[in-house]
Structure 1
Amino acid sequence: MTLTLNSLLAALGGLTAVGGLVLSVAGGIGWAPSATVRRRSRLERRIRALVVNDARANTSWWASGQTRLFGAALAGLGVWLFSGWLMGGLVTVAVVIGLPWLLNTSGSGKGQIDKLEAVEEWVRRMSDIHTVGVSLEATVQRSLETVPKAVREDVRLLAARQQAGWVPQDAYRAFADGLNDAMVDEVVALLILHVEDRGSGLSKALRELAEALQHEILSRREVEADRQKPRTNDRWVTIFCLVIFGITAFSGSYVEPYDTVMGHIVLAFVGVSFVLVKIWMRRMAFIEPAPRFLSSADRSGGGQSTREAP
């Protein structure tokens, strides 16, 4: 059986038609995915790790450089042997190695929002813990019992710096530097002001600041939802281009012009142009964060010691 471009297109069209029919029937009978939280199978977790590059999944099998290189070499060798097109095999190796970057269109916005939400929850709990006669340092120590996971290590480091004898203002500024967010600077500014004047009303001020953080989180989530639209378009365009490349790689005479020196140059130009367009599309969905006012670059005396004399 000879594999031709027409046969591949026909097979792809048939699969698309069957998939569309299945979705139409599912929509007609009112089927919807179950809202019950279930544990993903090992195969599903691996497929998700392949398509979505989750920064929290550091032990993902696809994140292993050796596994990715082995898969890329195997796929490239298969394309070369099956199609007889060496350049197609090399391009396949490059595509498989860069597949997580090609399909992962999510930025760091969601992770930053999750951290800010954890800060808001921590500030709200601080407002409940802090009472008359309890110092701010003791409040921070007591908050370790219920601090949200997203900022647990940052708060633990803050508490450890306080116990180690750091100047309180420097410890709070280092906490802000670690989270690197303009809204966290507002939280730290409030804590620094309390350290300097030790006035009353901190619990109320923390509660009001938590409300402001909550509004900021809602606004950022709306912006992130709008940013997700071009990211989704980017992912589908990438999948479509990869499918077309996969079909043409096995089309025989169609790719023969790319087996010459000029064809290699043209193919390299197309590949570089594709990557540049991907970068351009991602920058369209990128929004510069609000500038911080407690950044270490804006503070003088950054090279001085941050500890008090014993």
Structure 2
Amino acid sequence: MNLTPDALVAALCGAGAVIGVLVAAVALIGTTAPAAARPKGPLARRLNAAGSADGTGPLSMWANNRLLLASALVIGLLVWLFTSWLLGGLLAAAAVAGMPWILQPGRGSKAQIQRLEALEEWVRRLSDIHTAGVSLEQAVSSSVRSAPKTIAPEVTRLTARLASGWRAAEAYRAFADELNDASADSVAALLIMHVQDRGAGLSTALKGLAAQLSEEVLMRRKVEAEREKPRTNMRWVSLFCLFVFGVSMLSGSYVEPYSTATGQLLLLVFAVCFVAVLVWMRRMALAKPAPRFLAAADQPSGEDA
């Protein structure tokens, strides 16, 4: 490839335009995420799970790796500069940005297990606090100081909702929405039932539920261990394909047909097919979560249940 001054100036202008758009987006949107709100619908709950507060979802994973995104941008610009392929630069940037998704296919499941383990610990501590004779709301408020770090933000927001006048049942539903797990629904359902009848025996029920959560944690860890082999295969296949793609980009005569409009279109088709295969392999290596049974929280009101 002949790198002319005009091509260099055009590439630098394009890079400046991209950086300008990113700076404008940061100025308009900001860099500090607002406090997590209650999901208002199925799509909102999916996006909330994708960008979960603990950084386990794909959106949070990329948002928390600004260095990775900056590297992806630089590599994409370099590929575009030295190959004159805008599509090649975009694909290279996407490949670099998607490395966490490729290298850690089971990260979300493992993080969910850690959250479930933290939930079991919190429920057990909540049962001990409630044994002392305090109300459920007081026990929840007292549990904030000893809440496991993994679910501490959710417990803190639950306490804040109860203190600000949310109906107790809706606050517990919102707590389950944030954890987004069928086991969290079981915990919220038990707390809601106690709010409705205020009967005795809540501490005993919480201890029994904590024991069930402990058994589920062990079961999920066994399942994750069995799924680790296909995930490892997916990781190595992905890296091998990306390595072959990168080496092929350096062999001028081999990739010369892709310089045409038809070649660029075929390259895009191949890239889409490759991503589709990765998604298919990833779904095979991921366990389907149990469906939730609690409805989403309604709009809070100033009345207590």
Tell me the TM-score normalised to structure 2 length: 0.71
How many Å separate the matches in 1 of 2:258 and 2:109? 40
How many Å separate the matches in 1 of 2:167 and 2:90? 53
Q: 1:159-183 deviations in whole A, cap 9, x for unaligned? A: 1122222222222122112212111
Residues 69 and 242 of structure 1: CA distance in aligned 2, closer, same or farther (over 3 Å):
same
Q: Which residue of 1 aligns with 2:219?
A: 219
1:82-121 → structure 2 map (5 Å cutoff): 86-87=84-85, 90-102=87-99, 103-104=102-103, 105-121=105-121
Letter paired with 1:307 = G
Q: 1:111-166 deviations in whole A, cap 9, x for unaligned? A: 22221111111001111111253111111111111001111111111111222222
Q: Which residue of 2 aligns with 1:143?
A: 143
Q: Which residue of 1 aligns with 2:27?
A: none
Q: Which residue of 2 aligns with 1:41?
A: none
How far the C-alpha of 1:261 sits from its partner, in A, is 4.2
SS for the counterpart of 2:98 is: helix
CA contact (8 A) 1:170 1:306 kept: no
How many Å separate the matches in 2 of 1:99 and 1:161? 40
Q: 1:67-93 deviations in whole A, cap 9, x for unaligned? A: 532332024324x2xxxxx34x74244
How many Å separate the matches in 2 of 1:163 and 1:267? 57
CA contact (8 A) 1:114 1:150 kept: yes
CA contact (8 A) 2:121 2:210 kept: yes
Residues 306 and 226 of structure 1: CA distance in aligned 2, closer, same or farther (over 3 Å):
farther
1:251-270 → structure 2 map (5 Å cutoff): 251-270=251-270
Residues 306 and 249 of structure 1: CA distance in aligned 2, closer, same or farther (over 3 Å):
same
Q: Which residue of 2 aligns with 1:12?
A: none
CA contact (8 A) 1:122 1:143 kept: yes
How many Å separate the matches in 2 of 1:218 and 1:62? 36
Please tell me whether Structure 1 or Structure 2 has the larger radius of gyration of its CA atoms.
1
Gaps in structure 2 of 5+ consecutive residues? 1-57
How many Å separate the matches in 2 of 1:251 and 1:71? 18
CA contact (8 A) 1:68 1:97 kept: yes
Tell me the TM-score normalised to structure 1 length: 0.70
How many Å separate the matches in 2 of 1:101 and 1:57? 8
Count of matched residue positions in the alignment of Structure 1 and Structure 2? 244
Q: Which residue of 2 aligns with 1:164?
A: 164
How many Å separate the matches in 2 of 1:72 and 1:180? 36
Q: Which residue of 2 aligns with 1:308?
A: 303
Letter paired with 1:232 = T
How many Å separate the matches in 2 of 1:293 and 1:237? 37
Q: Which residue of 1 aligns with 2:122?
A: 122
How many Å separate the matches in 2 of 1:182 and 1:139? 23
CA contact (8 A) 1:129 1:139 kept: yes
Q: Which residue of 1 aligns with 2:65?
A: 60
How far the C-alpha of 1:226 sits from its partner, in A, is 2.8
How far the C-alpha of 1:244 sits from its partner, in A, is 1.4
How far the C-alpha of 1:199 sits from its partner, in A, is 2.3
Q: Which residue of 2 aligns with 1:199?
A: 199
Residues 237 and 193 of structure 1: CA distance in aligned 2, closer, same or farther (over 3 Å):
same
How many Å separate the matches in 1 of 2:262 and 2:146? 64
How many Å separate the matches in 2 of 1:174 and 1:288? 23
1:249-288 → structure 2 map (5 Å cutoff): 249-288=249-288
SS for the counterpart of 1:120 is: helix
Letter paired with 2:301 = T
